[in-house]
Amino acid sequence: MNGLAFLIPIALGLGLLGLAAFFWSLRKGQFDDLDGAALRIFVEEEEESV
């Protein structure tokens, strides 16, 4: 029974953490351009111009 006192808050806390991370990424616009994100790994970074 005592274990519950730790385990339940931990379980809920982890869940909330995931939810907060999702909200954060949504606000940062990470879901705005899903097809583009898949293609961007092919984009070469431009070399620093002097």
Q: Are 28 and 21 in contact (CB under 8 A)?
A: no
- Assign 3-class secondary structure to 5-38: HHHHHHHHHHHHHHHHHHHHHHHCCCCCCHHHHH
If one asks whether residue 48 binds other proteins (CB under 8 A), the answer comes out as: no
Q: How many residues bind other proteins (CB under 8 A)?
A: 25
Which residue from 3, 10, 28, 42 is in contact with other proteins, where contact means CB under 8 A? 42
- Residues forming the site for other proteins (CB under 8 A): 1, 4, 8, 11-12, 15-16, 18-19, 22-23, 26, 31-36, 39-44, 46
